[in-house]
Structure 1
Amino acid sequence: MITGTLVLSGIALVLAIGLVLCSRYMAQSEDSVIDEVERILPRIQCAQCGYPGCKPYAAAIVADAAPLNLCPPGGEATVRRLAKFLGRDSVHLEKPVAIAGLAGVQANLDDTAVIDEELCIGCNLCLRACPVDAIVGVQQMMHTVISDHCTGCALCLPPCPVDCISLAPRHA
């Protein structure tokens, strides 16, 4: 009788440990879903979605507090990938939001930042603000924008102390 009880207790213990291990390895936590959504996003931290970066936007998407279509740099392809991953309906890409602190300035994927090199004082503030490293230059020397890398996010505009940066159509 005692042997049978011990055998059944041992089997129950092994099964319980197996269930715990399976639940840990097979369950997908919300954090892992957020991480995967963030991997689908371009991760350039441009804030064009209205969130301070890609991770907060990913968290809002997973919590169903934000739509899938607020990432202009990712484009329609990113919206489709997000919809497929999350099992939601795909929607069209929203227009970029206005840039905080710049009345009338709106991020636009068709635009690129342009630096008036005669006015540039080489302060490096724009260089630090660019989330995709599209601005090149050294301290106290003029800077320039690599337009193929620029996302048109306009994050380089507010820090410029001499207003030598503007947005212009990419293919002008």
Structure 2
Amino acid sequence: MSTPRPSVQQIDALLPQTQCGQCGFQGCRPYAQALADGTTAINRCPPGGSDGIARLGRLLGVAPLPLDPSCGREQPRQLASIVEADCIGCTKCIQACPVDAIIGTSKAMHTVISDQCTGCELCLPACPVDCIVLTPMPTEQLDQAHADQARLHYQRHQQRLSALTAERQLELAARKSEVSTAGLSPVQAALARRRQREQGPPST
């Protein structure tokens, strides 16, 4: 009897939850899914490093491999912070953060919630004035509890983006409805809007 293949959840639990995308996937969970499907290699996670590769190898029953250099290099995790005096409030770092660890509003100073930062470094190239600096991540932020919290923050971030996308689709559908009912009688326009409501927002 063959041993059952590890689940996506088991694999995801071994990943650092930086959500950095260096593996070539949009987050740790998609990478875990590809590993569960057997469509990618275990050596594509620089934040996990050689220890992470070894853990994945033991779980999946495959021999460890050197870190794939095309994904980056293994190095200590870094914590982002914003030089607030230089921040122009463009919000680009907020949009880039996969765990909503940066707060602020347009044309106002931003700041990093340090204990939520995963060290993904995605905010660095997004900042047009280079006002984000990196410092060594505290050891206590490298434990499993923080990884689990980062996973939850990422899931909430994805849910928020999905909700915003659905809202935009409804707004676009409403605008199209206004255009398509122009010139119709009140009864015809009401019937057209009813048909569109029944059809729902356009699929993506």
TM-score, with length taken from structure 1: 0.57
Residue from 117, 129, 143 that aligns with 2:110? 143
Q: Find the residue that maps to 1:118 and give its secondary structure.
A: helix
In the alignment, the residues of structure 2 paired with residue 35 and residue 83 of structure 1 have an alpha-carbon distance, to the nearest angstrom, of: 16
Residue from 24, 43, 48 that aligns with 2:22? 48
Residue from 101, 123, 127 that aligns with 1:156? 123
Aligned partners of 2:17 and 2:118 also within 8 Å:
no
Change in CA separation of 1:110 and 1:54 when aligned onto 2, cut-off 3 Å: closer
- Residue aligning to 2:98: 131
In the alignment, the residues of structure 1 paired with residue 100 and residue 47 of structure 2 have an alpha-carbon distance, to the nearest angstrom, of: 14
TM-score, with length taken from structure 2: 0.50
What is the RMSD of the two structures over their aligned residues, measured on CA atoms?
A: 3.5
Residue from 67, 72, 82 that aligns with 2:46? 72
- Residue aligning to 2:188: none
Give the length in aligned residue pairs: 134
- Structure 2 gaps of 5+ residues are 138-204
In the alignment, the residues of structure 1 paired with residue 70 and residue 27 of structure 2 have an alpha-carbon distance, to the nearest angstrom, of: 14
- Structure 1 gaps of 5+ residues are 1-26, 99-105
- Residue aligning to 2:164: none
> Over residues 106-159 of structure 1, what are the superposed CA-to-partner deviations in whole Å (9 max), with x where a residue is unaligned?
996465545343331234331342235554x43243234467865543311344
Deviation of 1:38 after TM superposition, in Å, equals 1.4
Quick check: which one's helix share is greater?
2
1:8-157, aligned counterparts within 5 Å? 28=4, 33-95=7-69, 97=71, 109=76, 112-113=79-80, 115-132=82-99, 134-135=101-102, 137-139=103-105, 140-145=107-112, 150-157=117-124
In the alignment, the residues of structure 2 paired with residue 153 and residue 169 of structure 1 have an alpha-carbon distance, to the nearest angstrom, of: 13
In the alignment, the residues of structure 1 paired with residue 31 and residue 121 of structure 2 have an alpha-carbon distance, to the nearest angstrom, of: 19
Change in CA separation of 1:78 and 1:66 when aligned onto 2, cut-off 3 Å: same
